[in-house]
Amino acid sequence: AGLLVGSLGLWLGLTSACVYVSRRRGTGSLRRDFSLSFRWRDLGFGLAGSVVARMLAIAAVAPIPLPLPTRRIGEPEREVFEGAVDTGLALAVLVLVTCIGAPLFEELFFRGLLQGRLETRLGVALGIALTSLLFGAAHLIAWQGPVTLVYAWAVAASGAVLGLMRHVSGQLGAPMAAHAFFNAQVMVIVVLLT
């Protein structure tokens, strides 16, 4: 319940900012102002993009030294996921929030509003880079020490792929699908480890 209520509050804020900007400086249509559209082929591009985003996220954090785990190599940290999906309803809410809501509202705000404005003012490369860093910074939640910074850096790296997809496709469908598939990869791990 807390995750759902907190997410709804966040999404309301992100969407309100987009609506405000659209009405004040655009046409008043999120679809036109932020290229909010989806085509069925975006699913295929999204799946491919999610794999590339995952590989880039791994590559971005690979050189960062982290303390060695006290457990055997290859043994998952199951305690991280304990209680995450203790009921079917909890799993449904988690999937709804991470695989549907977050991709829709975060992409609308970050790739639709922010990246669009930053690309116009700073150029494509800097616009995508800065949007990706802000996207990673937005994921600095549930502080658990320096590893939280590593997580945010990985998210920023994956955000660069989403930003590139937005720029190349000219719309939000493909990066939304990639974001959904990227988060779904984690949901599969959570289900398998619980």
Q: What is the pLDDT of residues 140-153, one digit of tens each?
A: 887 778 888 999 99
Instruction: Give the pLDDT confidence of 100-133 residue by residue, as tens digits.
Output: 999 999 999 999 999 999 999 999 999 999 999 9
Helix (H) or strand (E) holding 170: none
Residue 121 in contact with residue 127, Cβ under 8 Å? Answer: yes
pTM score, whole prediction: 0.88
The torsion angle over the Cα atoms of residues 16, 149, 158 and 137, rounded to 10 degrees, is: 20
Residue 177 in contact with residue 45, Cβ under 8 Å? Answer: yes
Question: What does the alpha-carbon distance between residue 57 and residue 83 come to, in Å, rounded to a whole number?
Answer: 26
**Tokens 């998952």, located at residue:** 76
The torsion angle over the Cα atoms of residues 29, 30, 34 and 40, rounded to 10 degrees, is: -110
